[in-house]
């Protein structure tokens, strides 16, 4: 199995992640049409419960597998890399089985606890997905540790495709038994998708599990660590990561309860509060499209930085950290500006109905989420796992406090959750930045990496606004309706992307070495006149 470069792995995961999220966005209008606005709010609630349990089960150990395997391969200890994976895989299987049983047993009490009794069936039918994703996550961590992102990417596409197909089928069939049953149909589809993904990864592993070891390294391939030592490393890496990501999602779960209760405290009815939470869910799902790219970057750089740390290669660690932040800002900032400027047109194009104003005001959270995700990955790579967890918890406390006070104010209502998220990310970002600089003893300025993307994105935003206004006016004069609005939006997005890339190159935000490190297939998508400008 061939190891891939960080850039190629990032490109593969990004492409797959984008495809998965686009498929998800295209499926939302149809699913919402089947189950209605209230049903979509219920679906968002059950999804938050599922994500929380998923994180407790799968957040830490797969990352621990990736980190452990990459470190052992870096020092040519191939036997222990495989042995460590098998130990972790068994642990994930047991943990997934336990969580599967617990979710079935406590699905109804959980629904009552968060004030969403109607979410009981959908939470119950999500339980099998926990077991299947545990199996899949173990293999994904192993392949990522070996520097091969292809099986992870393919499995994600398979999972989402199966999820969409079966969710629609079961939702259409079960909606006649009520909204709760229709939403549960979507949850069954999620479990089917997870099963399909796990099955593919098992078969792929069986076919590609052997290492190709150079002859001169055969003598180095001796077992150096005991089972106890490997298990200790897995726990050391996995538990803090689980706590860190788990606490973040615990904050989201508290938001589920907190948002509805505080909306009702501000005079909003139960049903309307559920619908407004559905608006927040749509905002979060749209934000997850660009966040997928940042997540792919995180997964690609974790083994690379971990390997550099294991080899005590300080220069390479610094280079990869700077590279990751440059990419982070170059992707997150223009996406945030584009979503803010085109929030209304994008919601119309996707038939999301209400809630576009949340995206207009809340797109800045995308940049903050991206920064924190990269920072957390860096802290995981250099062994500062508990610090990342502590700061994440502190941010959640600020977020909950802000949400509590602002959401209940009638004039602010659901937008209070956006302010809470902004504060909740800013606090750990500031603290994480100080730790990274102090630990690695390097000069690291987020402002330096962000300034050129900000300039290019601001100019792009103006161009996109003017282009959309012009095309929308012309197309609606010729033929008013959904097709005219959609065509104007798609053209605006395309022109915006080219404008941003052009301006970033002009001001020196992209250099020749950046393009040289990109996969050739990705380079073919960039217009030749832009490529010729790069120095």
**Tell me, what's the pLDDT at 285?**
76
> Which residues contact residue 502 at a Cβ distance below 8 angstroms, ignoring those fewer than 6 apart?
530, 533
Instruction: Indicate left, alpha or beta for 317 from its phi (over 0: left) and psi (-120 to 50: alpha).
Output: alpha
Across 332-353, average pLDDT: 88
Instruction: Give the rounded percent of residues in the chain with a pLDDT score beyond 90.
Output: 14
The pair of three-digit structure tokens given for residue 310, joined into one six-digit string: 């294991």
Q: What is the pLDDT of residue 114?
A: 78
pLDDT of residue 20 exceeding 80: no
Tokens 């150096």 appear where? 224
Given a contact cutoff of 8 angstroms between Cβ atoms, the answer to whether 339 and 346 are in contact is yes
Residue 191 has pLDDT above 60, yes or no: yes
Two tokens, residue 473: 């006016």
Query: Where do runs of H (alpha helix) occur along 266-313?
Result: 270-310
Kindly state the average pLDDT of the residues 166-172: 91
Mean pLDDT, residues 397-408 taken together: 87
Q: What's the token pair of residue 369?
A: 């989420």
Domain range annotation of the chain: 6-213+226-444, 445-535
Comparing C-alpha atoms, which of 20, 2, 3, 1 is closest to residue 295?
20
Residue 506 is encoded by which pair of tokens?
A: 């002009």
What are the tens digits of pLDDT across the range 413-445? 888 889 988 998 999 999 998 888 888 777 777
Per-residue exposure over 290-317, b if at least 16 CB sit within 10 Å of its own CB, e if not: bbbbbbbbbbbbbbbbbbbbbeeeeeeb
Closest to 273 measured CA to CA, from 285, 256, 286, 287: 256
Whether 332 and 294 have beta carbons less than 8 Å apart is answered as yes
Cβ count within 10 A of residue 428: 27
**431 or 14, higher pLDDT:** 431
The two most distant CA atoms of the chain are separated, in Å, by 75
Q: Please give the pLDDT value at position 525.
A: 57
Average pLDDT over residues 245-258: 69
pLDDT of residue 478: 76
> Within 10 Å of residue 435's Cβ, how many Cβ atoms?
17
Flag whether pLDDT at 186 surpasses 60: yes
Q: How many Å apart are CA 204 and CA 188, to the nearest integer?
A: 25
- CA dist 183 and 46 (Å) reads 9
Residue with more model confidence, 446 or 100: 100
Cβ contact 12:153 at 8 Å:
yes
Q: How far apart are CA 38 and CA 455, in angstroms?
A: 41
**CA distance linking residue 226 with residue 520, whole number of Å:** 43
């Amino acid at each position: 199995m061939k190891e891939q470069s960080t850039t190629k792995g990032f490109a593969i995961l990004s492409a797959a992640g984008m495809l998965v999220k686009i498929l998800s966005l295209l499926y939302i209008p149809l699913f919402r049409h089947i189950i209605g606005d209230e049903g979509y709010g219920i679906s968002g609630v059950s999804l938050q419960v599922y994500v929380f349990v998923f994180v407790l089960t799968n957040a830490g150990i797969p990352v621990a597998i990736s980190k452990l395997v990459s470190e052992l391969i870096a020092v040519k200890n191939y036997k222990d890399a495989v042995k460590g994976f098998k130990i972790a895989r068994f642990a994930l299987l047991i943990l997934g089985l336990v969580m599967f049983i617990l979710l079935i047993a406590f699905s109804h009490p959980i629904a009552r606890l968060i004030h969403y009794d109607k979410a009981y069936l959908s939470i119950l039918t999500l339980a099998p997905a926990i077991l299947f994703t545990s199996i899949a996550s173990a293999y994904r961590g192993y392949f990522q540790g070996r520097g091969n992102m292809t099986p992870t990417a393919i499995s994600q596409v398979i999972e989402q495709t199966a999820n969409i197909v079966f969710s629609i089928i079961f939702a259409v069939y079960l909606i006649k038994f009520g909204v709760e049953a229709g939403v549960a149909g979507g949850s069954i589809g999620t479990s089917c998708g997870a099963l399909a993904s796990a099955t593919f990864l098992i078969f792929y592993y069986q076919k590609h599990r052997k290492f190709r070891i150079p002859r001169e390294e055969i003598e180095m391939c001796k077992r150096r660590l005991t089972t106890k030592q490997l298990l200790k490393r897995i726990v050391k890496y996995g538990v803090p990561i689980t706590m860190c990501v788990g606490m973040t999602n615990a904050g989201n779960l508290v938001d589920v309860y907190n948002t509805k209760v505080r909306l009702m405290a501000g005079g909003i009815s139960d049903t309307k509060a559920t619908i407004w939470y559905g608006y927040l869910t749509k905002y979060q799902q749209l934000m997850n499209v660009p966040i997928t790219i940042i997540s792919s970057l995180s997964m690609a750089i974790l083994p690379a930085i971990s390997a550099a740390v294991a080899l005590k290669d300080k220069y390479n660690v610094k280079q990869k950290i700077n590279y990751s932040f440059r990419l982070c800002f170059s992707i997150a900032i223009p996406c945030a500006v584009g979503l803010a400027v085109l929030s209304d047109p994008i919601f119309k194009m996707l038939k999301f109905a209400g809630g576009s104003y949340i995206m207009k005001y809340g797109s800045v959270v995308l940049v903050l989420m991206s920064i924190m995700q990269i920072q957390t990955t860096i802290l995981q790579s250099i062994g500062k796992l508990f610090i990342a967890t502590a700061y994440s918890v502190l941010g959640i406390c600020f977020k909950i406090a802000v949400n509590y006070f602002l959401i209940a104010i009638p004039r602010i209502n659901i937008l209070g959750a956006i302010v809470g998220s902004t504060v909740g990310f800013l606090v750990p970002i500031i603290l994480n930045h100080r730790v990274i600089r102090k630990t690695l003893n390097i000069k690291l300025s987020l402002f330096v990496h962000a300034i050129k993307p900000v300039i290019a994105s601001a100019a792009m935003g103006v161009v996109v606004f003017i282009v959309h206004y012009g095309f929308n006016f012309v197309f609606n004069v010729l033929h008013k309706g959904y097709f005219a609005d959609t065509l104007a939006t798609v053209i605006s997005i395309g022109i915006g992307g080219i404008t941003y890339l052009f301006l970033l190159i002009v001001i020196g935000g992209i250099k020749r070495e950046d393009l040289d490190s990109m996969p050739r297939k990705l380079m073919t998508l960039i217009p030749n006149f832009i490529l010729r400008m790069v120095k």
